Chain A
Amino acid sequence: MISKEEVKNIAEIAKLKFGEDELEAFTEKFSLVLDFVHNINKVDTEGIEPCYGISEENGFFKELEEEQTLDREEVLKNTTESEYGYFKILKVVE
């Protein structure tokens, strides 16, 4: 089981907010899912390496391309507020 307080704490880390009713319902569904995943704890994984990805190939370096950045105006079209060619947000330092 997971408590409402724990769920609240995780929400803070995830930068999400839930109303009291939502939190209640969420804690319930969340507990069901957690009970289900706890099943893996019975598997013996002593000495087994974790698998972060499937590829056995080494990474590679990209060729340096000129003009590889996106057009500033195009990119700024998707923000809510921009000014002087920058993203505009509220003042964060005094």
Chain B
Amino acid sequence: MAEKKKIYLQPTPVRIWHWINAFGIITLTVSGAQIRFPEYITFLGSYKSAIYLHNTAGFVVAISFSLWFFYYMFVSRTMANLYVPKAADLKTGLVRQAKFYFLTYFLGWENPHHPTPENKFNPMQKSVYLGVMFVMMPLVSLSGIFLTNVDPLRELIVMVGGLKLLAGLHFLLACCLIAFIPTHVYLATLGHTPMEHIKTMWSGWEDEETEEAGTQENKDELASRRAA
């Protein structure tokens, strides 16, 4: 027996951050492409416009990232719970979620993970977001800050291996984040309807189908709580 209820999954600060981040990253991608390939890409007019836009968008994304970090870390205090995979996630959760995405989804089975405000991400999301938000975003922002302050930070740049290493790292990390966009957008369409998760990221509310029997994941979570 399944019944529908609405849950408030994405609080306002997170939604604001998400869309600033999304438009910021798209702006950074386009301007970054012109900065690297100026003889071929001239979407934004002059090279100088592309540089200024890239620097401004980078600054906005870095500030918005800091606010996101501050919110989850000190306001909602759910950072570790949401983003750090637990032992059960790594032992069985990852395989279960991968099995769903790459096999049982095509057979029409239900997603084993049901998001709640305390446990929004499935084990695969947690692992990927951990890398994206705690490794790639800080590194790409930091390398960008270094690249916009080459003269005053010259000695530190030489210490970390040189300007080319830094620019190369910035470029490859940006490529990884750009590669994440189509995957991220595609996976966002895997709800009960293609727009379900996207609407949630706009309104904050998600339709939740709860089943009396509960999912395997929820059972695991209950078992682990009892054991604790």
Q: Say whether A associates with B.
A: no
